[in-house]
């Protein structure tokens, strides 16, 4: 391909994707569908084939997505969702994988090796689409969003042994113990380099880049860390995404995490766009038309079977509505299946015809997913009877010259009690639905929501507030909340309660903009006085 043709393809791809997504935007059709359709159009317009080079470039969209997930998931936060990751995720992959293996083997009469690979490939869901849409919908912090995140993390980790299984099943060597030993040693080396040795090195590297006061150098340092970590993992036989995910978790423990998130957001979105274009390029239209009935039958069977299994797993720990949302959010087949099918095809485990049919099933399931997630509440209400009473709507007209209390734990309840005693105008915000229900029973003016999200603070009319009191016992969110409050208001008095040295370190550089108060003072009225001083 000469340079002129390459440039024409790039220009056409950009132009078509922009035009399609502008049209789709008017009809509230997700961008992901526009990118996939662009890939299909470009393939047929220029008679292109998906090359290994394009696949590797496109895969970096997933790499940056997994890195950003890692940045948001520090070790402490991973501990907080260990049930979602290891219990929900582990059961989902094992049960779904064996169900689809059984169906492939005994219903479709596939060979044992093919059935095993296909079964566990179908057990995986789409990290790229689900997390992107959940973030856009601001649902990632909702119970079903947290469930989905935990299961997806385990699925992404599971992709490694599934790819290893393909290698073992197609290997001419019978020495299974040798393969497993080599993999274990490689895993230990990668973990040590990235997590143990990498933590101080990455922190120093970013500190050095930050002190240069050249923003492009800082961005370059981040890109080097992401791609270097991805390459290291790949070099030792793992996925690019695993290396990026681990390095993201390392950076989550540093003070640079917020700036890193802001700087890499656009890189992630652009490369994810390229990834979905490459997905569209894998659609063979003529093959799809000829086999549309069988493809749709398999697709429906996968959606139903996966949803049932996930629902039953989550239902053991959660209510019907959350379980149902978690189930339908993850009922599709994910992007890692492409890598599994391609490796299987390259090693002669599956033929080209079966590979194309499997790819089309995955692509169609990915196309349907954004529509499902955008309308998840409507779909859920069709199947699950509404069992929770609605939280009463706070009287927005009363939210003027008021105090916002962020958090309704024991400390928040005590503050609310003191505010009631002095008949102050206040509103409480908390994301724990049980705490909110408890507040409603007490007659509190309370909003259900995550105060780390700007739109929730806007709902509480932060621009009209005289004071904001933050009593959130979550060091991971404390800085984000403070930064958001400072960005949204300049006139309100901000009081932040800290419980230990770690929380103090997180906000100490803001001491000239906020009032930092010891957690023990919350039980008295000192925090109220601090919040109201010079403001009323």
pLDDT in tens, the chain (536 residues): 555 577 888 888 899 999 998 998 887 777 888 888 998 898 888 887 666 566 666 677 778 877 877 787 667 667 778 889 999 999 999 999 999 999 999 998 999 999 999 999 999 998 878 988 887 777 887 889 889 989 998 998 788 788 778 877 876 655 667 777 777 788 888 888 888 888 888 888 888 888 887 888 988 998 899 999 989 988 887 778 778 888 888 888 887 887 887 788 777 778 778 878 887 887 888 899 999 999 999 999 999 999 999 999 999 888 888 899 999 999 999 888 887 887 788 788 888 889 889 989 998 998 899 889 988 988 988 887 654 443 444 555 567 888 999 999 888 888 888 888 888 889 999 888 778 878 887 878 888 787 887 878 887 888 889 999 998 877 778 888 898 898 888 788 889 888 888 888 888 888 888 888 876 665 555 566 556 554 43
Whether this model's pTM surpasses 0.75: no
DSSP assigned state of 466: S
Could you tell me which of 304, 349, 71, 76 has the C-alpha nearest to residue 202? Answer: 71
Tokens matching residue 376: 């998840």
The burial class, CB within 10 Å (0-12 / 13-18 / 19+), for 370 is buried
In the sheet with 493-498, reading across from the earlier edge strand, the strands are 446-448, 426-430, 403-406, 467-470, 493-498, 515-518
Q: Which residues, other chains included, contact 126 with Cβ-Cβ below 8 Å and sequence gap of 6+?
A: 332, 333, 334, 335, 365, 366, 369
């Amino acid at each position: 391909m000469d340079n002129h043709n390459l440039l024409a393809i790039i220009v056409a791809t950009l132009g078509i994707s922009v035009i399609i997504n502008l049209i789709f935007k008017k009809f509230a059709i997700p961008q992901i569908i526009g990118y996939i359709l662009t890939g299909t159009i470009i393939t047929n317009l220029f008679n292109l084939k998906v090359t290994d080079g394009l696949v590797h470039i496109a895969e970096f969209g997933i790499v940056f997505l997994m890195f950003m997930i890692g940045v948001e998931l520090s070790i402490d936060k991973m501990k907080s969702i260990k049930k979602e990751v290891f219990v929900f995720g582990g059961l989902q992959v094992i049960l779904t994988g064996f169900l689809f293996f059984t169906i492939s083997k005994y219903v479709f009469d596939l060979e044992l090796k093919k059935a095993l690979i296909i079964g566990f490939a179908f057990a995986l869901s789409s990290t790229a689409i689900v997390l992107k849409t959940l973030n856009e919908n601001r649902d990632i912090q909702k119970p079903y969003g947290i469930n989905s995140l935990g299961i997806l993390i385990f699925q992404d980790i599971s992709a490694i042994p599934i790819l290893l299984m393909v290698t073992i099943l197609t290997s001419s060597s019978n020495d299974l113990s040798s393969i497993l030993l080599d993999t274990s040693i490689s895993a230990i080396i990668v973990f040590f380099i990235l997590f143990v040795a990498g933590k101080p090195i990455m922190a120093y590297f970013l500190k050095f880049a930050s002190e240069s006061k050249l923003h492009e150098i800082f961005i370059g340092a981040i890109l080097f860390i992401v791609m270097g970590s991805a390459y290291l993992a790949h070099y030792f036989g793992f996925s690019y995404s695993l290396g990026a995910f681990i390095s993201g978790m390392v950076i989550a423990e540093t003070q640079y995490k917020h700036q890193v998130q802001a700087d890499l957001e656009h890189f992630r979105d652009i490369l994810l766009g390229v990834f979905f274009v490459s997905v569209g390029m894998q659609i063979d239209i003529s093959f799809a038309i000829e086999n549309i009935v069988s493809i749709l039958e398999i697709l429906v069977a996968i959606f139903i079977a996966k949803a049932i299994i996930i629902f039953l797993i989550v239902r053991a720990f959660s209510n019907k509505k959350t379980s149902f949302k978690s189930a339908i959010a993850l009922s599709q087949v994910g992007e890692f299946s492409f890598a599994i099918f391609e490796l299987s095809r390259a090693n002669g485990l599956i033929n080209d015809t079966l590979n194309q049919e499997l790819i089309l099933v995955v692509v169609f399931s990915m196309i349907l997913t954004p529509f499902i997630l955008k309308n998840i509440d409507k779909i859920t209400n069709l199947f699950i009877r509404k069992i929770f009473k609605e939280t009463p709507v706070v009287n927005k007209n009363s939210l003027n010259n008021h105090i916002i209390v962020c958090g309704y734990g024991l400390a928040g309840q005590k503050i609310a009690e003191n505010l009631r005693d002095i008949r102050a105008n206040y509103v409480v915000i908390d994301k724990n639905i049980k705490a909110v229900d408890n507040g409603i029973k007490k007659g509190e003016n309370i909003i259900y929501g995550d105060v780390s999200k700007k739109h929730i603070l806007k709902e509480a009319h932060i621009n009209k507030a005289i004071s904001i009191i933050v009593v959130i016992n979550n060091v991971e969110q404390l800085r984000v909340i403070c930064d958001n409050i400072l960005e949204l208001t300049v006139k309100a008095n901000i009081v932040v309660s800290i419980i230990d040295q770690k929380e103090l370190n997180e906000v100490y550089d803001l001491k000239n903009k906020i009032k930092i108060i010891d957690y023990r003072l919350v039980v008295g009225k000192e925090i109220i006085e601090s919040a109201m001083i010079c403001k009323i």
